[in-house]
Structure 1
Amino acid sequence: MSTANPGAVEAAGRDKQTQDDPRSPSQAQPRSVRVVLLALMIAMLLAMLDNMIIGTAMPTIVGELGGLAHLSWVVTAYTLATAASTPIWGKLGDLYGRKSVFLTSIVVFLIGSALSGMAQDMGQLIGFRAIQGLGAGGLMVGVMAIIGDLIPPRERGKYQGMMAGVMALAMIGGPLVGGTITDHLGWRWSFYINLPLGAVALAMITIVLQLPAKDPGKAKVDYLGAGLLAAGITAIVLVTTWGGTEYDWTSPVILLLIFGGIAALVGFVAVQRQTAEPIMPLHIFGDRNFSLMSVIGFLVGFVMFGAVLFLPLYQQAVQGASATNSGLLLLPMLLSMMLVSLVAGRVTTSTGRYKIFPIMGSGLMVAGLFLLAQMDTGTSRLTSGLYMAVLGAGMGCLMQITMLVAQNSVEMKDMGVGSSTTTLFRTLGGSFGAAIMGALFTSRVQHEMSQAGGAAAGAASQSAQLDAASLAKLPDVAREAYQHAVSSGTHAAFTLGAAVAVVGFVAAFFVKEVPLRGAGPQEPGESGETSAPTVPPAADGKVAQPA
């Protein structure tokens, strides 16, 4: 006797389900999806490439505009605006519609880029960089949320390699592109280069992207909550940026920021419990997987930003690498991350299973950081490259899986805030990683140099980050002392990173493997039309077979 298969019935009614079920991603023709994804990757590249390019151009910018004392604010203003606006962009997308809000963020970013290129003094540049940062906060969360709308989680894994590739391209190519543009076109084109890329993304998304419209009449923005959250995030970023550098950790400024930030966040939580349309609905943290992905994402940011900060420094100071091609120094880590992310995505798409990747990724991160902590003045570039590849493999297992599981854990109506919250935790993890690992590194280097004695300490301590050319001019005793100090500092920083990563490894075991929404893998026909929908995975994660 034959009975109707529930999975087949669900597949047959997929179009209706997409409209009625708030947890179901929108369906689109494969060809249109690929065009939209290309535009999204361009927008993602804009956000990630900007700081890499500007970092290379900063010496030239300071030489023309002056204002060396305010140099750090060029980066800090951008970072602050990005972090503070990220959750707000996510909520606005949920309320007013993803497409219009994302297009607005691109326009704001491009306006900030154009104005930054026209800046006549350092004060103007800092202000215009803040405008750029406001737009950048919407770019990253917009990309993730739109992908969440267009592609079911079960099929989303096969696109992970694209996102990891964009990240690797930005980190490797950013310094090279920045140096080339600055040398041949001038530093202002470091900002103007965003305009044609952004225009292409704007045109493609406007023409091709089709998402359900939202009724703005029902939307009420939680302005108080947004203000409190922005104040709290700003305080956190300033503490991690200024602590131990601009101000002592026990200075009144830092203490005021700490207590002010805590008060703002406590007030934010209280407001979120009472308002009808919270900026960050607290109920999303009631899902165990979402909370765990937020924690793991924070730790990934902590480790990744620390690695990006200290690996080039170690290779330049200890291994004598050139700073010109600094992005290439990270190639083993980034290639490994990209390849493993691609494999993890494909496996997730084909099997519907993903719990193994947070566990493997966290374990490989611990192993990679432990290996990097063993580097000393005699470690070869080949050996350090292999260690970096282990760390990259760990991050490749985690970078996109954390976002995929987090998005699968929230309803479609909360896709924006879910994506923005996960992105925010990763950003804050990076701020804490750079600050805490940086403070430990600096303390260790200063201690080692103080032990070196007189002439050596005096010669090498003139710069906190001596490059290969500067080191070559130092006396042998001073050079060896500084290299030993940097090696000791990286050992301490990566040991701390490994200890922090252990928390992620433990957390990964508590992830519950909830079946991913959407169908299993499917291939489009030659005409570009979608083939017959495959049956969604059953509760055990396996694809049910039609009766």
Structure 2
Amino acid sequence: MATVEADGQMTHREVLEALTGLLLAMFVAMLSSTVVSNALPAIVTDLHGSQTGYTWVVVATLLTMTATTPIWGKLADLFSKKLLVQAALVIYSAGSLVAAFAPDMGTLIAARAFQGLGVGGLTALVQVVIASMVPPRERGRYSGYIGAVFAAATVSGPLLGGLIVDSPLGWRGCFFVGLPIAALAFVVLQKTLHLPTIKRAVSIDYAGATLIMAGISGLLVWVSLAGTSFAWVSPTSVAIVVASLVTIAIAIWVEARVAVEPVVPLRLFRDRTTALATAASVMIGVSMFGATVYLSQYFQLARGMTPTRAGLMSIAMVGGLLVSSIVTGRIISRTGYWKKWLVGGMVLVIVGLALLGTIDAATPLAAVGGYMLVVGLGLGATMQNLVLAVQNNVAQADLGAASSVVAMFRSIGGSIGVSALGAVLAHQVTGAFKDGLAGLVASGQVSREELAALRHSTGSIPDLDALSPALRGLYEGAFGHATGHIFLIAVPFALLALACVLLIKEVPLRTTLDVEDTMHDAAETATGASA
């Protein structure tokens, strides 16, 4: 295509045509988690899983997505971006098929982990491809489209998931729904996306990626299982933590000294904006993923809703995210300034999380919806624009690596948040349920047969419809109170993210695709890098 080959830029029409396929791919990536969210209670009950199993169905995807995001980003700097996006779509589809036929929790978690490989590619590559087509100043409006798709997937996902679970298809149908969209995205990209391919010597940092994934996995396993499978302070805990930290230390050494093309180029962190945005992304991941992933479970297990009704409750948060992402994206494109929107967004996230920290099983649903709306407005102004700030500060050659580093650390924060807050949730629900159960037994509201059945299924998530009114009320109350508590735990992490955003120096969005050599050299000098 002449326009691409001549100056590296595509016309607006060409960008929109290619963007259609990219947004379909992004929709598939977002749908992979949202469509399953309302199905998880039914899945875990049907496959006889526990709260830990519930957590790992989510964490498995986040973990592999996290570990592979920087690899996809690095590959985007070396190979055909179109081919990579299409490969990610194929991997996602294969994982979805295996998950749909999973006979047990172990197989399902493994399939979700494989699915995460493709989701990691789609998450990283869509941002990279858009950044390769349009300059930062024009990228705001396209980021608004991404936010709109994110919102659409977040709204339609839970609704579709709820409807499918309540239909004859059951929860397995949730893993089929994304396959036609993935196929359509593949075809559209084949016809519309035309970008020059960078051809140079290739050196993929497999050792660094493996070590990073192993170190993070070890810590997540420890957070998930400590307190149930073994004590927090025990030889097993010490062994897992020490081994994980040593592995991460070796990974840092490999990235700094050994890798020719490091999967996480440490030199990127010499740039103040990249370093602070990455730290903020970790904190946002902990607070956002860690807390909101359990909202669907709250509506079903604490409020007794069907999956479909629980999906309808998500409209409040996603409506706020939709409006906020589109409006801020357009304003940023028009003015070139972005920091005040990041700061305002983080303030709204903090306020929303604090308000959600007050909920329990009896909180009016209108109030819960209002709190979710505040969080959605904040996230819409924050997530995409944080990546945009980083892309504005790096050279085109580092675009893939820098974009994927921010996405990777946000996923790391999400994995930690889901795992840690899931462990807190399980511990609090179990403790409160056992304490309340003693009172019900003493008052004769629970029979010996019911007590024996409960003991036999210790650790599993109960089928609320099979419980007596007294036991159901006790479990709903315990779950509702525990859900509010994990939102309060998320607030300090959001405050740290706000602190990082406040320290970022605003650089107006440039109107060129690449950083001029003189500007890049000056930035390198200012951050202490050697020429």
TM over 0.5: yes
What aligned pairs does 1:115-514 form with structure 2 within 5 A after superposition? 115-117=98-100, 127-181=110-164, 183-185=167-169, 189-216=173-200, 218-244=201-227, 247-250=230-233, 252-274=235-257, 275-376=259-360, 378-449=362-433, 452=436, 454-456=438-440, 462=454, 469=465, 473-475=468-470, 481-514=474-507
Q: Kindly indicate whether the alpha-carbon contact (under 8 Å) linking 2:39 and 2:307 is maintained by their aligned counterparts in 1.
A: no
Q: Residue in 1 aligned with 2:508? A: 515
Residues 509-518 or 169-178, more deviating: 169-178
Q: CA deviation at 1:381?
A: 1.4
CA contact under 8 A between 1:84 and 1:234: conserved in structure 2?
A: no
Q: In the alignment, what sits opposite 2:72?
A: 89
Distance verdict in 2 for CA 1:74–1:385, change over 3 Å: closer
- Checking the alignment, whether the CA contact within 8 Å between 1:322 and 1:468 is kept in structure 2 is no
Say which is worse superposed, 461-470 or 299-308, in terms of deviation: 461-470
- For residues 25-46 of structure 1, give each alpha carbon's deviation from its aligned partner in whole angstroms, at most 9, with x where no partner exists: x421111211211211111122
What are the superposed Cα offsets for residues 493-522 of structure 1, whole Å, 9 maximum, x if unpaired? 2222222211122222111111212169xx
Structure 1 residue 284: deviation in Å? 0.8
The Cα of 1:50 is off from its aligned counterpart by 2.0
Which deviates further from its counterpart, 336-345 or 52-61?
Answer: 52-61
**372-381 vs 396-405, greater mean Cα deviation:** 372-381
| 1:143 CA displacement | 0.8
Q: Which has the higher contact order (CA 8 A, sep 6+)?
A: 2
Which piece of structure 1 moves more, 499-508 or 253-262?
253-262
Q: Are the structure 2 counterparts of residues 28 and 442 from structure 1 closer, same or farther at C-alpha, using a change threshold of 3 Å?
A: same
Q: Pairwise CA RMSD of aligned residues?
A: 3.4
Distance 1:359 1:266 in 2: 33
Matched, 1:51 2:33: yes
- The alpha-carbon distance between structure 1 residues 495 and 467, as it changes in their structure 2 partners (threshold 3 A), is farther
Q: What's the CA shift for 1:304?
A: 1.7
CA shift digits 1:305-343 (9 cap, x unpaired): 233234334444555543433222222111111111111
SS in 2 for 1:399: helix
Counterparts of 2:112 and 2:242 in 1: how far apart (Å)?
Answer: 27
Report the CA distance between 1:215 and its aligned residue. 1.1
Q: Is the 8 A contact 1:317 1:466 kept in 2?
A: no
> Which TM-score applies when normalising by structure 1?
0.80
Equivalent position of 2:521 in the other structure: none
Corresponding position: 1:107 with 2:90: yes
Question: Sequence identity of aligned pairs in percent?
Answer: 34
Q: What is the SS of the residue equivalent to 1:38?
A: helix
Q: 1:41 aligns with which of 17, 23, 29?
A: 23
Match for 1:506: what amino acid?
A: A
Are the structure 2 counterparts of residues 252 and 156 from structure 1 closer, same or farther at C-alpha, using a change threshold of 3 Å?
farther
The answer for the alignment partner of 1:529 in structure 2 is: none
Report the equivalent of 1:528.
Answer: none
Separation in structure 2 between the aligned mates of residue 302 and residue 32 of structure 1, nearest angstrom: 37
Aligned partner of 2:33: which letter?
A: N
| Change over 3 Å in CA distance of 1:304–1:228 after alignment to 2 | same
How far 1:191 moved relative to its partner?
3.7
Deviation larger for 265-274 or 168-177: 168-177
Structure 2 length normalisation: TM-score?
Answer: 0.82
User: C-alpha separation between the residues in 2 aligned to 1:40 and 1:299?
Assistant: 27
Deviations 1:175-234 (A, max 9, x none): 432354463456665444433322221122122112121114x12222322322232233
Change (3 A) 1:178 1:502: closer
- Cα deviation for residue 62 of structure 1 reads 7.9
TM-superposed deviation, 1:149: 1.0
Identify unmatched segments of 5+ residues in structure 1: 1-14, 20-25, 521-547
